[in-house]
Amino acid sequence: MLMGAFFSRRFNPDTDIPDLSGKVILVTGGNAGIGFAVIEQLVRHGAKVYMGARNPERARAAIERLRTSVGSDNGQVVWLDLDLSDPRKVQKAAEEVMQREERLDVLINNAALLLVPYAKDYDNVQNIVMTNYMGAYLLTRLLLPLLKRTAQEPNSDVRIVFVNSARHHSCPSDVRFRTLDDLNRDFEDTMFPQLLRYAMTKTMQLLFAKDLQRRLDAAALPRAILCLAVDPGEVNTEGVHAYTESVGPVLGPLYRAIAHLTFAAPATGALGPLFCAVSPVPRAEPLVYRGAYLDPPRSSGRAARWRRAGSSRGSCGIRRSASWGDRDRAASGVVLGRLGCGWCIPYGSV
């Protein structure tokens, strides 16, 4: 499970994505930004894609844009009413997928809040933790039976992808994931509380991905399920736009200009998630990519290089070892059942 040496591959979605006909894929946060660009390529190559989104009007508008750009002779896109900030709606969405489908080949956990003001939801959990980690955790756990059933089929290629961020390296070394107060930490005593809250959630997500891969490996499925996390790079998405609007009339235009000039377009940001989800390379080299965290390319160009992150540093500045111990298991849900959230399901074995 160690993050090995730097690993590079060229990837061009136009030529390197195989025919996805018959595949069923779920993408959260799919009506805009990276998620929309990911879905566009998946549908173009023949997949049936569930677009997880909470706003029906925006989802329908996104689907119409896809039909215009991709056409009707390729794959299919279906709106899934999914709000990761509400565990009840997450459960309902997962049940809908399992009732409608006999297979699920790929789950792409893409949806996330970025730099948002501190607020708690009605489960008394801060909103960014609920959306970025707990919602994705719960959705993944609920869909595991369908993913595992698909993995039993001959020639299956089941993957779980987490769109992560290099910002997880900013997570302070003193964070803990033992109590609800730990998860609700606001970091208001620091210079960059919004950034640190975001970094904490991405650390939690990454630790969950690593621990989930370990547990799936222990389950000894006939065809291994691959869990991968990927940093798409700095991407000029709607979340970035929303943040620039929130910082006021002086800094807002400056930040927007910086994002416009230096950040990648969503289509470029989609390359990493697409590589993790459907490139033949990870399946051909599972020992290399199982539980991997991938860095974005360091140079521009359509044929991007994706590499496995180096081993010198882990989340929160912790040096890597063969096992991350209690820290990742806590973030992965072992203690969530003790937090007073009645909807939490036991982690246990997969």
**Tens-digit pLDDT profile for residues 7-58:** 345 788 899 999 999 999 999 998 988 899 999 999 999 999 999 999 999 9
Mean pLDDT over all residues of the chain? 79
Task: Judge whether residue 333 has pLDDT over 60.
Answer: no
Q: Could you tell me what percent of the chain has a pLDDT over 90? A: 46
* Domain that residue 260 falls in: 237-268
Domain check: are 137 and 264 in the same one? no
Tens digits of residue pLDDT in 54-73: 999 999 999 999 999 988 77
347 part of a folded domain: no
Domain check: are 28 and 154 in the same one? yes
pLDDT at 304: 41
Instruction: Kindly report the CATH number assigned to the domain that includes residue 55.
Output: 3.40.50.720
d(CA 54, CA 61): 13
pLDDT at 265: 73
pLDDT at 123: 80
Comparing 320 with 138, which gets the higher pLDDT? 138
**Which of 26-40, 95-109, 261-275 has the least mean pLDDT?**
261-275
Catalytic residues: 198
Domain check: are 253 and 133 in the same one? no
Domain check: are 70 and 196 in the same one? yes
194 part of a folded domain: yes
Domain check: are 217 and 257 in the same one? no
40 part of a folded domain: yes
pLDDT at 194: 77
Is 195 exposed, middle or buried, given 0-12, 13-18 or 19+ CB atoms closer than 10 A?
Answer: middle
CA atoms within 13 A on the CB side of 163: 30
80 part of a folded domain: yes
Comparing 215 with 184, which gets the higher pLDDT? 215
Domain check: are 221 and 253 in the same one? no
Domain check: are 109 and 198 in the same one? yes
pLDDT at 344: 52
Best-predicted range by mean pLDDT (221-230, 271-280, 328-337):
271-280
pLDDT at 250: 56
Domain check: are 295 and 157 in the same one? yes
Torsion of CA 164, 168, 174, 179, to 10 degrees: -20
Domain check: are 109 and 245 in the same one? no
Comparing 304 with 93, which gets the higher pLDDT? 93
176: amino acid identity, one letter: R
pTM: 0.83
Q: Could you tell me what percent of the chain has a pLDDT over 70? A: 73
264 part of a folded domain: yes
pLDDT at 238: 65
In this prediction, residues 96-107 reach a mean pLDDT of: 98
Comparing 266 with 211, which gets the higher pLDDT? 211
Q: Residue 285 corresponds to which tokens in the numbers above?
A: 């080299």
Domain check: are 138 and 276 in the same one? yes
101: amino acid identity, one letter: E
290 part of a folded domain: yes
- In which band, very low, low, confident or very high, does the pLDDT at 115 lie, cut at 50, 70 and 90? confident
Tens digits of residue pLDDT in 206-265: 999 999 999 999 988 878 899 999 988 776 566 555 555 555 565 566 656 665 566 667
pLDDT at 6: 31
Tens digits of residue pLDDT in 277-327: 999 999 999 989 999 999 875 444 433 444 555 433 343 333 333 333 444
Domain check: are 110 and 248 in the same one? no
153 part of a folded domain: yes
In this prediction, residues 104-122 reach a mean pLDDT of: 87
Number of structural domains found in the chain? 2
213 part of a folded domain: yes
Domain check: are 186 and 334 in the same one? yes
pLDDT at 147: 98
